[in-house]
Amino acid sequence: MVFSSITFLFYFLPIVIFTYFISPYKIKNLILLIFSLIFYAFGEPIYIFVMIFSCLVDYTNALIIDKYRKTFKAKFALISSIVINLSLLGFFKYSNLVSLPIGISFYTFQTMSYTIDVYRDKAPVQKNIISLATFVTLFPQLVAGPIVRYCDIVYELNNRHHNIDMIYDGIYRFIIGLSKKVILANNLGLIWFNIKSSSYSDLSSATAWLGIICFTLQIYFDFSGYSDMAIGLGKIFGFNFLENFNFPYISKSITEFWRRWHISLGIWFRDYVYIPLGGNRCSNSRWFLNVFIVWFLTGLWHGAGFNFILWGIYFGIILILEKLFLLKILDKSPNILNHIYVMFLVIIGFVIFDITSIDKIFNYLNAMFSFDNIFDKHFYYYLIPNIILLAFSILACTPIIKDTLEKYKYLRLISLIFGLILSTAFLVDASFNPFLYFRF
């Protein structure tokens, strides 16, 4: 699917854009729907029917909700939508009986947001099934987010505007995201892949730290890069998708980190799970339970593996502790110590996130904190040739580069051209090209 997706974006995107802009306004959604289905069919044509089924289920249930508002039938239709969507997600994601449809976690949450928004009267019912199917299948963010809620996009589905500035901004944002993905994330990921594949008992602590730092950088540039590409493509077609990342690695607390990382998922759980449970306007014991439920589900959303559940609970506990007393301490601490605190906990969290075996998680952590073997030749082997890559990646985790490009506009054009050429060269030559969030 990764090769198919990249192939589609490079060889078919110009065709999509040309066809879209020469088409009459009334059929632009249909054009996007057709090409979105083609995009998905590159990897998994059979699972198109699962996505179409989800569209039909939510289209029908929303019509019932709108017709029978504030009655048992409306509530039953909402419950039906939620149960069917979660059952599909649960079957494909957690049964291990079939392969996982790419992006099912993302588009399931999107379709659920539609019926919930209509039930809450926060968005009008969509009577045009083409428009609704376009919302669900929209290829720019179909397989790896950001999660687009129906209430945020309902107006633009049938009333969007196009202009040169928006198209230019979209192209620029797409190329920035592509560069993050293929120039930074892929090369960082290759280092992590090699270190992760080694015997953990033989790793020096420096090599173990280098490996997980590379993964920490990789997952950020991989996921934020894809989000940038999706947001950029959305702008080209007249949509304004929600920002999904806001430099999370400059955070001064884990609470702030989760306001900056995977923003669309955090908002989804906040609005559709946390607040309905009572949020923080309740007793401490109930609030603890609410946080536990949200973070248990956040871990479960990423996968059925126990490491994902542990990862979710891990951050849930930290957030509770920060709310109780740690934030007061952090407010009085120097910023540099706060950043070290955040990155230390985030890096440990990513060990839990990416290593699926519990035994291997503890073995890797043991290698990181072992003082018996601090440096070895493998550390220098991976570090020295990649020192510029690592330094630039760390710098790119801060707003410095973005602010510079916005201040000096001519650099934007240079970076756009350079990024496209270099990304294309890497894509043609590279054999290691994973999209981490395709598996979710």
Which are the catalytic amino acids?
302
Tell me the CA distances in angstroms from 162 to 26, 152, 230, 262, one per residue in order.
14, 18, 17, 27
Q: Which two tokens stand for residue 139?
A: 């290829």
Could you give the CA distance from residue 31 to residue 399 in angstroms, rounded to a whole number? Answer: 37
Q: What is the DSSP string of 20-71?
A: HHHS-GGGHHHHHHHHHHHHHHHH-GGGHHHHHHHHHHHHHHHHHHHHTTTS
Helix, strand or coil, per DSSP, at residue 246? coil
Output b/e per residue, 335-367; b: 16+ Cβ within 10 A.
eeebeebbbebbebbbbbbbbeeeeebebbbeb
Question: DSSP assignment, residue 322?
Answer: I
Could you give the CA distance from residue 207 to residue 88 in angstroms, rounded to a whole number? Answer: 41
Could you give the CA distance from residue 202 to residue 169 in angstroms, rounded to a whole number? Answer: 48
Could you give the CA distance from residue 336 to residue 315 in angstroms, rounded to a whole number? Answer: 21
- Say which amino acid occupies 331: D
Which is it for the CA torsion 40, 147, 181, 177, positive or negative?
positive
Which is it for the CA torsion 36, 41, 45, 47, positive or negative?
negative
Helix, strand or coil, per DSSP, at residue 211? helix
Task: Please compute, for residue 327, the number of CA atoms within 13 A of its CA located in the half-sphere on the CB side.
Answer: 12
Helix, strand or coil, per DSSP, at residue 120? coil
- Give yes or no for a contact between 178 and 229, defined as CB atoms under 8 angstroms apart: yes
